[in-house]
A and B are shown apart, each in its own frame.
Chain A
Amino acid sequence: MPDLDEGQGGGRVILRLDVMMARRKVRGRDLAERVGITEQNLSLLKSGKVKGVRFETLAKLCQALDCQPGDLLEFEAE
C-alpha cells in the first residue's frame, strides 16, 4: 500500500488514490488533466513516492473525484 510519509515512530499516512480512482472509474490521464498535474506526478502520488501533497492539489483531487480528503488519506499507526 503506498504511504505518503514514513513518520518517525508515529505511523504513516496512506494515500488511497488508486482505490478512489477505481471506484469513480477515472483514468490517470483524465484525472491528471483535471487536477492540473503531470501524469508523472500523479503516478508518484499513487505510489506514495512523495513527501507531501499541497492543499491546493488535494482540493482539486477531491473535486475531480467527488470525495472528501478523508476518503483519500488514511493514517495507519505502527
Chain B
Amino acid sequence: MPLTVPSRVRRICHVMSVACGLGALALPLAGAWGAWNYQDLVGSPPPEGMAPSLVWQGVAAVLLSLPMIWVGVGLVRLAALFRDQARGLVFTDANADRVRVFGSCLVLGAVLNPVVQTLAILALTHGFPPGSRLIQIGLGLDDAVLATIGGGMAVLGWVMGEARRLSEDLEGIV
C-alpha cells in the first residue's frame, strides 16, 4: 500500500533520482578519462619523449570504465528506488532488491578497480620500449571504503526485505 509522502521528501526523492541517473552516465566517462591522465594514474610522468598510443589509451579507457559501469548500474537501480519512494512505494520487494543490487554493484566495483587499474597501466605502457613498461598493483583505501559501504547496503537491502514482510503482516492486522 503506498504511503503518504510529504512534499519535501518527494522533492528530495525526485532530485536524488535525477542525480543518480546523471551519476550513472558520468561515472563511466570519469573512469575512462583516467586513461588520458597518465601521471594521476601511474604516479609519475611518462619517460622523456614517450606517450601512450591512442589505441592503448582506448583499451585503458575501456578497462578503467568497467568498475564505474557497474557502479552506474547500481545507481540506475537506486534512481528507480527514489522514483518509487516519491510515489509512496517504500517497503516493496523491488526496492529491497534494488538496494541489494546497488550494494553488490559497489562491492563488485571495489573489487574490479585494483585489477583494472593494473591492466590499464600495463596497457598504457605497452608501447614503451623494454625497461619502461610498468605493472603496478595497488589497493587503495577508497576501494576498501567502497566495498564496506557496498556490503552495508547489501545488508540494508536484506533488512528492507524483512521490513516489507513485517509491513505486509501489520497491514492485515486490525
Contacts and interface: CB of A to CB of B under 8 A. Distances in A.
Interface of A: 37, 41, 44-45, 50-54, 57
Interface of B: 169, 172-174
Contacts of B169: 51
Contacts, number: 18
Contacts of B174: 37, 41, 44-45, 50, 52-54, 57
Given A37-B174, A54-B174, A57-B174, 15 more contacts: A41-B174, A44-B174, A45-B174, A50-B172, A50-B173, A50-B174, A51-B169, A51-B172, A51-B173, A52-B172, A52-B173, A52-B174, A53-B173, A53-B174, A54-B173
A33 to B, nearest CB: 15
A37 B174 CA distance: 8
Contacts of B173: 50-54
Contacts of A57: 174
Contacts of B172: 50-52
Chain A CB within 10 A, most for which of B169, B172, B173, B174? B174
Contacts of A44: 174
Contacts of A52: 172-174
A36 to B, nearest CB: 11
